[in-house]
Amino acid sequence: LLDPISFFAEKMTSAEIRQSFLDFFREKQHSIVPSAPLLPSSPNLLFTNAGMNQFVPYFLGTEHAPYDPPRAADTQKCIRAGGKHNDLEDVGYDTYHHPFFEMLGNWSFGNYFKAEAIEWAWELLTKRWAMPKERLYATVYKPGEGDPADFDQEAYDLWRALFEREGLDPDVHIVNGNKADNFWMMGDTGPCGPCSEIHIDLTAEGDTKGSLVNQDDSRCIEIWNLVFIQFNAETDGSFRHLPATHVDTGMGFERACAVIQGTKGGSDFSKLASNYDTDVFTPIFDKLTELSGKKYTGTVPAVGRRDGLSEQEKIDVAFRVIADHIRTGSFAIADGILPSNNGRNYVIRRILRRAIRVARTIGLGSDAPLLPQLAPVVIEHFGDAFPELKERSDVILENLETEELSFGRTLDRGISLFEDAADKLDDGQPFPAATVVKLWETFGFPLDLTQVMIDERGLSVDAAELERLTQAHKDTGDAGDGPDTISAVTIDTHVTSEFIGYESDSVETTVEEWIESDDHTIAVVSKSPLYVEKGGQLGDTGSVLFEDGHEISIIETMSIGDALCLRLAESPVHRPNKLVVSLDTERRRGIESHHTATHILHWALHKEVSREASQQGSLVAPDRLRFDFNGKALSAKQISAIETAVNERISRNDTVSWQEVVHADIRDRDDIMQFFGDKYGERVRVVQIGGETGDLTGWSMELCGGTHVRNTGDIGLFKIRSEGAIAAGIRRIEAVCGEAAVNYVHESIDLLKEEIQAALDKLTAANNDLEKAGADGIAIPSVDVEELEGDADINGINALLVELTCHRDELQQAAIDADKRLKKASAGAAAEIASEWLEETLATVEDGSPKRLVGLLPGDNPALIQETLTGLKRRQFDGVAVLALVADDTVHIAAVVDKAHTSQFQAGKLVQELTALVDGKGGGKPEMARGAGKATDKVDAMLERARELIA
């Protein structure tokens, strides 16, 4: 028979591994704290990249740790994908590098130190998780020439005593390491100190005697790092002793899962453990298999090899890259790091675009965006441990879809350009640096993504030339790290076009160039009324009219340099020099209404909330607007006040005008909204609402290049749909106006009426059940939903919505009260049945050590199983019991084990095995566990197995 601990370790899921770590340190009097967001509070960090980030003030002594005792444990979300810490280029090509990972950690803030940290680490690994002790190695800091501090004699002595106690040779199991391996620093400055890493030998034989430690070999990996924080690295390069010593440990969650699950709880090392062969990633792999028809087999290319991969190796690399990157992107977006063109946001964009490109190698993403289909798997799998994933699921899915659709428009074209350039190269000829830059600035290919493609083809690029061209583009082009406008074709043109869409909807124009691509025709025109997507405003669509009366739709407007380019839906037979360009005016008017409403919303936000609430991003579409701002959550009163203020200004029908001015003349005017982080040219465009046209005296004035209505009355009704958080300190308002607002209001009214009727029906049904149970019902409020109407203006509409909401809430609360009363009545009835059943059943239980009880409870009341458990506790049952109940087409299972017998039987393990027999799941602690399954026809066989297990 397997040792119970080894058996438990072998069967642990990743969620159970995470929880067992936290439970272990809870037993050691650690406070369990939530993970800090990936968006760091420190301005020096790109991302939260280590568990210690949120605790730096405690280490420095500038704040006191708010825990009693001052100990903590957590699992910290981390991203290392830029700057000093960057694992991105290795993802997919090995089994253990990830830009995003969880760091399990335990912390002491001036409390315990090296002795406890080392002893507890050993206890968790070898006792709780059953890792073979002879396979574990500890590293100790020994400075090299020029390294800080002294040899860590204290840690060495503690490890030596421990290994001797365990019957292991310290001279073999302790390995010295220099600053690079065994001196931990968060950055160039800050808390730091020597560390002891614990490595595990994963070779089949397990007899490498420490020779692979710190050799970057996947057969022997670091599993835990115990950092002993003693110093603060100063700006002058010196190391100052901290006022108190601290412990900072970090264990890679994914690696821990790989070691435990990949070795069957430390019992089988015949196969090399891989982070990807765990249930951290397999649910994503299962979804990829479902979508692609391909299967993951776990092949890994030889170290350093990127080109000449077999077809299966390409598939397996793609699976790993996609699974890793969808995890990274989902967690980052949940914490408010949205893909864009600057800083950390661009890093997330790079990661997502690498996944999107790789998806093409397994035939995914061209028909429908792939990432939004995978994200729900991540949200479901990790959402219990990290609830922000579920709370912000809509934001995650929206941003993933937007990013994939945006890059997807250019991806195939960019790949084609790359392949054409690569195919033309002679042996040994470098890939042209100019093409790398073109892929970046025109097609949105991050530079490192193109480098991966170059590596996959076994090619090289002139690094110096690439750096020169990249820098030249940054000096003259976009100030960010990537393009703002992405086009799906390669166009070399020096045409300067005129945008006349502020005043005109249609224009006869000259076609300066006709460009034919594989599936579309591009017209480069001298002037156009179609707006190109930028600044949050979506681009226009429209049509071109030829002299013969033939009309073709324009499906996209692009800007290439100073040229305006129109992508046509079909290729014309003739390509004249002149044609008429017209925009889709209905679509444009919706965009103009929502854009102008955005300006008024910004004004109202300042008026009703705070002048400090400034815009952080926006989207203007034909049917909605989205406005992000910094600040706190808005109250219902504030939202109502903003709505009223916006609608009042709309009803004034003020003139909306715009004019070009010299930026230097208005730069210091605080009544003109301008974003000082943005780059403006010498002349800027001011959009003014109200006041005297041309005098810059409006009540709303902003620098803006977008299109707008002529009068505020053109906007129509304005209605806020939602307000909520998208990141720490960043809020988002979503609103609609005009016909979209009217439709939304009618939908809201209809929905509230449906909810009222549903609550009435639920309350009536609950009262009927109470009557059957012999209990008093709840008084049902009198509401006739058909009589509830309101006036057509905004005040009347809001009053009706408030009235409906109050009725709904009143009825829903009454239904909740009735349900509680019904549960209480049900529990009372169940308690009587449970008491009678226990009196009869316990009388037949044989005495033993322990007593054993297996039984199927009578009836189909779900409350019965809990009442029976309560009855066992009240009777001080000191044995092992397995209970089952069939109710609502479900087998409910519970197990209890007296504390004195948990070394022999564990309730969690019992329920885990028994629920599997009825096609279900379950688990819990050694003393009590619950579960359920759907196979009611297998309940008798399950109970028979329960008798065998506790016999």
pLDDT band at 493 (very low <50, low <70, confident <90, very high): low
Whether pTM > 0.85 for this model: the answer is no
- The per-residue pLDDT for 847 is 81
Q: Are the CB atoms for 98 and 59 separated by under 8 Å?
A: no
CA distances from 434 to 79, 459, 463, 465, 508 (A): 31, 15, 11, 8, 36
pLDDT(188) > 60: yes
With residues binned 3-state (H G I as helix, E B as strand, rest as coil), the percentages for the chain, rounded to 5, are 40, 20, 35
The residue with greater pLDDT, 801 or 610, is 610
pLDDT band at 177 (very low <50, low <70, confident <90, very high): very high
- Regarding beta strands 190-201 and 220-233, do their DSSP bridges make them parallel or antiparallel, or are they unpaired? antiparallel
pLDDT band at 487 (very low <50, low <70, confident <90, very high): very low
pLDDT band at 17 (very low <50, low <70, confident <90, very high): very high
pLDDT(484) > 60: no
pLDDT band at 483 (very low <50, low <70, confident <90, very high): very low
Most confident among 580-584, 606-610, 737-741, 884-888 (mean pLDDT) = 580-584
What proportion of the chain, given as a percentage, has pLDDT over 90? Answer: 50
pLDDT band at 477 (very low <50, low <70, confident <90, very high): very low
Q: Are the CB atoms for 544 and 551 separated by under 8 Å?
A: yes
Tens of pLDDT, residue by residue over 754-772, are 888 888 888 888 888 777 6
82 forms beta bridges with 85
Query: How long a stretch of residues is the chain?
Result: 951
Least confident of 95-99, 183-187, 354-358: 183-187
- The per-residue pLDDT for 673 is 87
For residue 597, give the nearest of 536, 666, 545, 532 by alpha carbon: 536
Question: Which amino acid type is present at position 121?
Answer: A
- The per-residue pLDDT for 800 is 76
pLDDT band at 489 (very low <50, low <70, confident <90, very high): very low
Q: What is the mean pLDDT of residues 19-31?
A: 96
202 forms beta bridges with none
Token duo for residue 779: 């008084």
- The per-residue pLDDT for 410 is 77
pLDDT(80) > 70: yes
Token duo for residue 895: 């197990």
Least confident of 6-20, 88-102, 857-871, 918-932: 6-20
Token duo for residue 672: 């003109």
Tens of pLDDT, residue by residue over 811-868, are 778 877 777 777 777 767 778 888 889 888 888 888 878 899 999 998 887 888 888 8
Q: What is the mean pLDDT of residues 931-947?
A: 93
pLDDT(683) > 80: yes
- The per-residue pLDDT for 518 is 53
CA distances from 519 to 238, 364, 522, 603 (A): 63, 20, 10, 45
End-to-end CA distance of the chain: 15
Give residues with Cβ within 8 angstroms of 375, minimum separation 6: 326, 329, 330, 393, 396, 397, 400
pLDDT band at 701 (very low <50, low <70, confident <90, very high): very high
Least confident of 28-32, 316-320, 454-458, 937-941: 454-458
Q: Are the CB atoms for 232 and 190 separated by under 8 Å?
A: yes
Token duo for residue 468: 């020169």
pLDDT(494) > 50: yes
Distance CA 51, CA 113 (A): 17
pLDDT(623) > 70: yes
- The per-residue pLDDT for 183 is 93
Q: Enter the DSSP assignment of 99.
A: S
Quickly tell me which residue has 């040792």 as its tokens.
3
Q: Are the CB atoms for 360 and 321 separated by under 8 Å?
A: no
Token duo for residue 807: 């009725």
Buried b (16+ CB within 10 A) or exposed e, 921-943: ebbbebbebbbbbeeeebbeebb
Q: How many CA atoms lie within 13 A of 556 on its CB side?
A: 15
CB neighbours of residue 607 within 10 Å: 15
pLDDT band at 58 (very low <50, low <70, confident <90, very high): confident
Q: Are the CB atoms for 436 and 407 separated by under 8 Å?
A: no
For residue 735, give the nearest of 648, 632, 631, 647 by alpha carbon: 647
Quickly tell me which residue has 């980052």 as its tokens.
332
- The per-residue pLDDT for 536 is 84
- The per-residue pLDDT for 6 is 47
Q: What is the mean pLDDT of residues 559-582?
A: 88
On the question of a cis peptide bond just before residue 70, with omega within 30 degrees of 0, the verdict is no
Question: Which amino acid type is present at position 157?
Answer: D
Give residues with Cβ within 8 angstroms of 236, minimum separation 6: none
The residue with greater pLDDT, 911 or 414, is 911
pLDDT band at 455 (very low <50, low <70, confident <90, very high): confident
